[in-house]
Chain A
Amino acid sequence: MQGKVIVVDHEKCTGCRLCEMVCSVFHTGASNPSRSRIKVVKWESEGFYLPTTCQNCEKPFCVEVCPTKACHQDLENQRVIIDKDKCIGCKTCIVACPFGAPSFDHVERVSIKCDYCDGNPQCVFFCDTKAVNYVDSDRVGVSKRREFSLKFSELLRQTR
């Protein structure tokens, strides 16, 4: 990972899918979650919700497999984006991404993926529970370690 990335906390997510809605409205003008760049994976019966989106990989596999170079790294803004004017809709990036981040826009007939709304991700802005956050990639590990330490110390307190 590089630059700033979207980080999710599945324990805070309520599965309201507002992130999908605002994403589709921002990018397409339509309130259509199927065209959203962020997807909430649900384990409905268990009440688990996990918003998934582009992880902005350091060596993005989607870029490697793209036959037209439509999917490329924007080094200036440190993100991976798909140029929809170059995309032929072969769906190779969708099949190749381990995180299932790119998806196929059935209206525009091209692959789409999160571009962090040019540095102001709408999903982060509108998420009421703060389950979706936009943080520096080098802070991701720190916050996770802090979260783990807090939980561990709480567990120790309970056992005493």
Chain B
Amino acid sequence: MSLASKPSTKTLKRIRPQREWRWEIAIYLYLAGMGAGSFIVGLFTHWNGFGLSLPLRTFTFWGVPLELSKLALLWGPILVAIGAPFLILDLGKKLRFYTACFNPRTSWLARGFFILSGFILAGLIVLGALSFQQMSHPPLLWRLFEIISMLLAFATAIYTGILLKSVRYIPIWNTPLLPALFLLSALSTGSMGVILSTMGYGLLFPGGGLPHLLISRLTRIEQILVLIEGLILATYLISKYRAKDQGEDSVRLLISGDLRFLFWGGIVAVGFLFPIVLEYLYSHFPQYPGLLFATGALLLAGGFFLRLGLLASGVKERLPMYKLIEMKIKMSAFQRGE
């Protein structure tokens, strides 16, 4: 190799992201966020927050009347319950998982244990009660319980970001923009999840046809959420890139490093560009519900890639000692005239 083709000192610098939290944690964060987001959107819809609700379909299940339209809206806690075992899957000692709640005073992992458990429990009670019992005029206490479950859903969605933020020494995670980004992502993927489930509900029980008005309103809301999420993601990455030692390495890893395919392909294209284009096409050709299903599948995959990418790009702050050594390496290279 000639001297001219030798890599510079800067390119020799190795960016080593954390490898401890991997795809299992990404799935855990994703399902927790999406489940909580879908519950928020579903409960708002149930409260007629969007001026609409699904047509009712009552089935008798073991002699008990079961209202399936509520299941199409409020399935979020089930998804969070499915996601929680992925955290256990990542543990070295899986059978001791129940001890992960012993230090809620300072540990966000322990606090998360309570937040997620509370949300799953409250959400399943709301889902069960509304599915099995029609309440045209719910009592005030029940409404209060629904509000508490909604607050727990918000806490779950934000917690996924706070858990990463609580790890102070990984600069790309240590920003209040991360919980905000995860909340927006939870709401956008959650609303898309509700759109897909209501479409599936409409197709499964075609008597009343597809609830077009509800879907179009939810789609509008979901588009706005995706746009805000995109803006937050851009602000987040730009602010971290400009902060030099405070996250520049992670952003470089994402946009031009080993994770560039995941970032540009998985997060930007699959998570933002394709869904926006497909949704635009669906708005002109609503007779093809397959377009919206494809949009949903891509958007949901993008939400997972977002978490996976941000986890995989977690580079720790460099210690002053390491900086000193790298400075010495640079100086010796300079003295050698390289």
The chain A residues found within 8 Å of chain B, CB to CB, are 10, 41, 43, 45-46, 48, 50, 61, 63-69, 86-92, 94-100, 104, 108-111
Contacts and interface: CB of A to CB of B under 8 A. Distances in A.
A95 B314 contact: yes
Contacts of A45: 12
A86 B321 contact: no
17 contacts: A45-B12, A46-B329, A48-B329, A67-B101, A67-B109, A68-B103, A87-B93, A88-B97, A89-B92, A90-B90, A90-B92, A91-B90, A96-B169, A97-B169, A98-B319, A100-B316, A110-B92
Given A86-B99, A87-B93, A88-B100, A99 B319 contact: yes
Contacts of A86: 96, 99
A109 B92 contact: yes
Contacts of A65: 106-109, 166-167
B110 interface: yes
A15 to B, nearest CB: 13
Nearest to A105: B92
A86 B92 CA distance: 11
A90 B88 CA distance: 9
B166 to A, nearest CB: 7
Interface in B308-326: 314, 316-317, 319, 321-322, 325
Interface residues of B, number: 36
A88 B321 CA distance: 31
Most buried by B among A45, A69, A95: A95
Contact of B168 (A48, A61, A109): A61
A111 B90 CA distance: 13
A66 B107 contact: yes
Contacts of B50: none
B113 interface: yes
Given A50-B325, A69-B103, A110-B92, A91 B168 contact: no
A91 B329 contact: no
B311 to A, nearest CB: 10
A10 B322 CA distance: 11
B92 A95 contact: no
B242 to A, nearest CB: 22
Contact of B110 (A67, A89, A109, A111): A67
B103 A89 contact: no
A88 B91 contact: yes
B167 A95 contact: yes
A96 B100 contact: no
B92 A104 contact: yes
Nearest to B21: A95
A74 to B, nearest CB: 16
Nearest to B321: A50
Given A10-B325, A95-B314, A104-B20, 9 more contacts: A48-B329, A50-B325, A67-B109, A87-B93, A88-B99, A88-B100, A91-B90, A100-B316, A110-B93
